[in-house]
Amino acid sequence: MVSLKLQIILLLGSLVGFFILINLIRKYTLELKYSILWFIVTILSIILAIFPKLFTYISHIMGIELPVNALFLLTLLGTIMIMFSLTLEVSKSTIKIKELSQEIGILRYELEKMKEKDHSKKES
């Protein structure tokens, strides 16, 4: 069973995290599409801090004897989900950077050719 002191600390920590997340989105520091998993994590943390017996029930459903072990498992799975999401975004960004770099190279090449043509016309 979770002590009242720990329950209050978890609730306050979750609420602080939630308000920081809202503030980052409001200031356009964090895009909404990247914050969805963080919203899920903070809302679940708030719910579990308010209703700690719910976690005992969840661990029983999962067939895990101790709720702490279920907490570690769910934390690990949540972390893996966030890492996978971030890996996808990094991969998309890398592909986009490569495409933009190639496009810049082509544009620079065409610009140099145009400058050479313009320079040769001026000399003629």
DSSP-based three-state secondary structure for 65: coil
CA atoms within 13 A on the CB side of 44: 12
Q: 67: alpha, beta or left, given left = phi > 0 and alpha = psi -120 to 50?
A: alpha
Which tens digit of pLDDT belongs to each residue from 47-100? 988 998 888 898 899 999 888 888 889 889 988 988 998 899 999 999 999 999
Query: Can you tell me the distance from the alpha carbon of 20 to that of 39, in angstroms, rounded to the nearest whole number?
Result: 11
Query: Can you tell me the distance from the alpha carbon of 80 to that of 72, in angstroms, rounded to the nearest whole number?
Result: 12
Answering whether pTM is above 0.75, one says no
